[in-house]
Chains A and B, each alone.
Chain A
Amino acid sequence: EAGVAQSPRYKIIEKRQSVAFWCNPISGHATLYWYQQILGQGPKLLIQFQNNGVVDDSQLPKDRFSAERLKGVDSTLKIQPAKLEDSAVYLCASSPLRGASTDTQYFGPGTRLTVL
């Protein structure tokens, strides 16, 4: 079974530029998550989708971050405009069911973003 796919793996941009990340979850997984992992910290949840609907985006900085999962499968996360403090690894995860606490989340390899 293929894992969670993410692209690109690395991205370097200048501040105030825009950037987009793509995630393809494990086939059939209903719930998709985007996390931000700053160097030296644990992942922090940005947004959770169930199918194509948003379950939780309380920690998403909505003035500059946006995410969509239009067909309930793959997802994109966008930052516009980027700030220096957005430098981090952006992890995508998926889980089979409806995001219950007993539902295992499978993580992709992440996209490492550097903002100069």
Chain B
Amino acid sequence: GQQLNQSPQSMFIQEGEDVSMNCTSSSIFNTWLWYKQDPGEGPVLLIALYKAGELTSNGRLTAQFGITRKDSFLNISASIPSDVGIYFCAGDDSWGKLQFGAGTQVVVTP
């Protein structure tokens, strides 16, 4: 099956810094999604990307769908304490069947 490699595994950053993480796949996806999961909660959708090359922003978050359709990245600008959590990429090959990366743990220090 398809494998999603998400990096980095964890990040320790200071408040105000920018954060970048990426996801690569061995195969093509039609949709890339980025989710955030807080402790004890389910993942919440942050950004959805539907077209190769697409660059989409949601507040301080920016994500891009790679032109090869095998990768995506997420940037968080000017991090704040509530950005703490685990960020997951997910690829959708068809009909809502998502495959998730292993996640990037973000820790923000004041």
**Chain A positions near chain B (C-beta within 8 angstroms):** 4, 31, 33, 40-45, 48, 55-56, 91, 93, 95, 98-110
Contacts and interface: CB of A to CB of B under 8 A. Distances in A.
Contacts, number: 68
B40 A109 contact: yes
A34 to B, nearest CB: 12
B96 A42 contact: no
Contacts of B45: 104-106
Interface of B: 4, 6, 30-31, 40-45, 48, 50, 88, 90, 92-103
Given A45-B97, A99-B96, A101-B31, A40 B102 contact: yes
B44 A105 contact: no
A42 B50 contact: no
Given A42-B88, A42-B100, A99 B95 contact: yes
A101 B94 contact: yes
Nearest to A112: B40
Across chains A and B, which 8 residue pairs bring their CB atoms closest together, nearest first? A42-B100, A107-B42, A99-B96, A101-B92, A101-B31, A99-B95, A42-B88, A107-B43
Contact of B97 (A56, A102, A104, A106): A56
19 contacts: A40-B103, A41-B100, A41-B103, A42-B90, A43-B98, A45-B97, A45-B99, A48-B96, A99-B95, A100-B96, A101-B30, A101-B92, A102-B48, A105-B45, A106-B45, A107-B41, A107-B42, A107-B44, A109-B40
